[in-house]
């Protein structure tokens, strides 16, 4: 007689049925986030390595033609593209065709003499000091400019700092790196990436901007915005369509952004992919598929050491918070925002991918809350409905100083500071580093109090910075929407403006590339 085996579904962790965090489902998190940020469409992919266990589209990839965001939709992945450029450089390094320590003048003899001794590694580190062509007068993102024109434009400005002493994100670094890759590979940069990464991994929904015309995109505007070709051709069933990018106009209207394919995007924002393909690429970074030697993976996917000996928690666009094994790449491009995080510790092994068709949307906080649904330790551990929390790459002291510096730059007075960790020592008690900074202006606070004076108990506003039990550094402030609900002020425009201001401030002080 066979023994009956009873199976129990896991209640938490990998394979658990309820996918939510603090009672909120992932779908609800995303719906609320899209509404709050006026995002037309978004795609999510979640990898519980090696599985891609969830891939979903939300909203519209194109508003006018009513195309749905789907698992096959391809999106501009923005600055995440520099991750592909970095892998390409390491692959050539492993093949003996490129030395990371060599001066870039060895590979690009026509560059300005002042740049010639900058090393390839310093381009990867964003430690060259070369000006970012995107920030220069006369640069227009939608204008097609050659690589030579953009490099010449950047060469007209003095270095921001001596090479190897600081880090500053610069698209010029990646443009120069791709020119070096083309020289060393003996083929165009895009061809090398296609051969060694895209085609090698069989990523059918990943392509360069210049290849977008190859997508079989049905002309819906000519068909009353209805799909018809799927009835007669299998190529139009679950089609891989290009998402349309959007931005806010000056009067806060959503406007369409044309596709950009200029050389200036090369190596920095020139790749389009589905969320699933991007997640697949993220998984492939775990072992030797793309980068064979562990020492080279360690070089690229860990905090970097600069020439002056300083270690910085960033490398080639990747940023590394204090959470063990966590790294992320993100950014915004014309009409799009994208985010890829990798929790690489063996106890977690989760990869979160988010892509959206509205520019200048930071997806980091949303990505962290989605990850929390797959393991609460991956989140902040606090009530995110009440507090907006963001993990800082710096220690508590430095984060607090960066907050004060930014408040001063914004002309916002600092009203009080509290060092609870230091105060605890005075009473012979232990408390991990914890700081609170109170700030505000009479005008801003009065505007908040005029509709309902009882909100005075919440003022002045405060930012808190602390180290948690896992050694992570968090900075947080009260969710202004919740405060508004509590004091029946949800329609007050000052609430949303204050929330947006504090979110930008927290991101800027918490990150290398902020």
Q: For residue 461, give the CATH number of its domain.
A: 3.30.310.70
Q: Rounded CA gap, 394 and 319, in Å?
A: 11
Same domain, 183 and 227: no
Q: Rounded CA gap, 382 and 469, in Å?
A: 13
Same domain, 400 and 459: yes
Domain boundary among 377, 403, 422: 377
Task: Name the E strands within 12-80.
Answer: 20-21, 24-25, 41-48, 51-62, 67-68, 75-76
Q: What is the mean pLDDT of residues 479-506?
A: 91
Task: Give the CA-trace dihedral at 75, 501, 367, 74, to 10 degrees.
Answer: 0
Domain boundary among 377, 411, 443: 377
Encode 408-428: b = buried (16+ Cβ within 10 Å), e = exposed: eeeebeeeeeeeebeeeeeee
Please identify which residue in the block is written with the tokens 């106890």.
Answer: 347
Percent of residues, the chain, with pLDDT higher than 70: 95
68-82, 160-174, 259-273: segment of lowest average pLDDT: 259-273
pLDDT band at 261 (very low <50, low <70, confident <90, very high): low
- Residue 264 placed within a domain: no
- Residue 149 placed within a domain: yes
Q: Is the peptide bond before 13 cis (omega within 30 degrees of 0)?
A: no
1 pLDDT more than 80? no
What pLDDT does 224 receive?
80
What range defines the domain where residue 104 resides? 82-192
Residues 6+ apart with CB under 8 A from 208: 190, 193, 194, 270, 271, 272
Name the strand (E) or helix (H) holding 257: strand 254-257
The tally of domains found in the chain comes to 3
Q: Rounded CA gap, 416 and 462, in Å?
A: 9
Same domain, 373 and 492: no
Structure tokens that stand for 326 in this block: 């966590």
What pLDDT does 225 receive?
79
Same domain, 228 and 371: yes
Structure tokens that stand for 33 in this block: 């986030």
- Residue 285 placed within a domain: yes
83: nearest Cα among 305, 353, 311 = 353
Same domain, 336 and 427: no
- Residue 330 placed within a domain: yes
Percent of residues, the chain, with pLDDT higher than 90: 79
Same domain, 134 and 165: yes
Same domain, 231 and 317: yes
- Residue 265 placed within a domain: no
Same domain, 170 and 98: yes
∠ Cα 434 438 440 (to 5°): 155
Name the strand (E) or helix (H) holding 247: strand 245-248
Same domain, 246 and 326: yes
Q: pTM for the full model?
A: 0.93
Other residues' Cβ atoms within 10 Å of the Cβ of residue 438: 15
What pLDDT does 9 receive?
57
- Residue 462 placed within a domain: yes
Same domain, 367 and 344: yes
Same domain, 182 and 292: no
- Residue 19 placed within a domain: no
Domain boundary among 328, 350, 377: 377
Q: Which residue has the higher pLDDT, 225 or 348?
A: 348
Structure tokens that stand for 199 in this block: 């085609």
Report the CATH number that the domain containing residue 133 is assigned in CATH: 3.40.710.10
- Residue 356 placed within a domain: yes
pLDDT one-digit tens code per residue, 468-491? 999 999 999 999 999 989 999 888
Other residues' Cβ atoms within 10 Å of the Cβ of residue 377: 15
Q: What is the mean pLDDT of residues 208-236?
A: 86
Q: What is the mean pLDDT of residues 280-292?
A: 97
Same domain, 87 and 54: no
């Amino acid at each position: 007689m066979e023994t009956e085996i009873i199976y129990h579904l896991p209640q938490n962790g990998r394979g658990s049925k309820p996918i939510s965090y603090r009672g909120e489902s992932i779908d609800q998190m995303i719906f609320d986030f899209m509404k709050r940020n006026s995002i037309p469409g978004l795609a999510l992919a979640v990898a519980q390595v090696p599985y891609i266990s969830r891939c979903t589209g939300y909203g519209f990839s194109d508003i006018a033609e009513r195309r749905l965001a789907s698992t096959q939709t391809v999106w501009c992945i923005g600055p995440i593209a520099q991750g592909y450029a970095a892998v390409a450089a390491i692959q050539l390094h492993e093949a003996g065709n490129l030395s990371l320590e060599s001066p870039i003048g060895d590979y690009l003899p026509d560059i300005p003499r002042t740049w010639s001794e900058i090393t390839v590694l310093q381009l990867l580190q964003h430690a060259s000091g070369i000006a970012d062509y995107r920030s220069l007068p006369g640069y227009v993102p939608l204008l097609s400019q050659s690589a030579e024109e953009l490099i010449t434009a950047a060469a007209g400005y003095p270095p921001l700092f001596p090479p190897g002493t600081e880090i500053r994100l610069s698209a010029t670094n990646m443009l120069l790196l791709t020119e070096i890759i083309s020289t060393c590979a003996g083929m165009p940069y895009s061809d090398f990436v296609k051969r060694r990464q895209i085609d090698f991994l069989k990523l059918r929904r990943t392509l360069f901007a210049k290849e977008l015309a190859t997508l079989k995109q049905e002309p819906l505007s000519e068909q009353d915005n209805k799909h018809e070709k799927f009835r007669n051709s299998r190529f139009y069933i679950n089609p891989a369509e290009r998402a349309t990018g959007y931005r806010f106009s000056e009067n806060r209207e959503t406007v369409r952004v044309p596709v950009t394919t200029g050389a200036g995007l090369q190596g920095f924002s020139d790749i389009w992919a589905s969320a699933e393909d991007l997640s697949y690429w993220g998984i492939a970074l775990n072992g030797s598929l793309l980068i064979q030697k562990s020492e080279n993976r360690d070089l690229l996917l860990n905090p970097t050491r600069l020439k002056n000996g300083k270690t910085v928690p960033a490398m080639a666009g990747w940023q590394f918070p204090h959470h063990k094994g966590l790294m992320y790449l993100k950014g915004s491009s014309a009409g799009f925002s994208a985010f890829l995080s990798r929790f690489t510790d063996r106890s977690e092994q989760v990869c979160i991918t988010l892509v959206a068709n509205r520019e200048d949307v930071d997806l980091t906080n949303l990505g962290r809350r989605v990850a929390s649904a797959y393991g609460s330790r991956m989140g902040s551990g606090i009530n995110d409905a009440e507090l907006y929390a963001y993990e800082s790459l710096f220690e508590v002291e430095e984060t607090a100083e960066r907050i004060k510096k930014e408040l001063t730059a914004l002309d916002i007075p600092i009203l009080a500071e509290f060092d609870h960790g230091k105060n605890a020592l005075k009473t012979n008690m232990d408390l991990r580093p914890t700081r609170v900074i109170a700030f505000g202006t009479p005008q801003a606070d009065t505007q908040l109090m005029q509709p309902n004076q009882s909100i005075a108990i919440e003022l002045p506003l405060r930012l808190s910075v602390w180290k948690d039990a896992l050694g992570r550094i968090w900075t947080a402030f009260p969710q202004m929407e919740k405060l508004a609900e509590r004091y029946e002020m949800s329609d007050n425009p000052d609430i949303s403006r204050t929330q947006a201001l504090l979110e930008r401030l927290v991101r800027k002080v918490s990150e290398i590339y902020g």
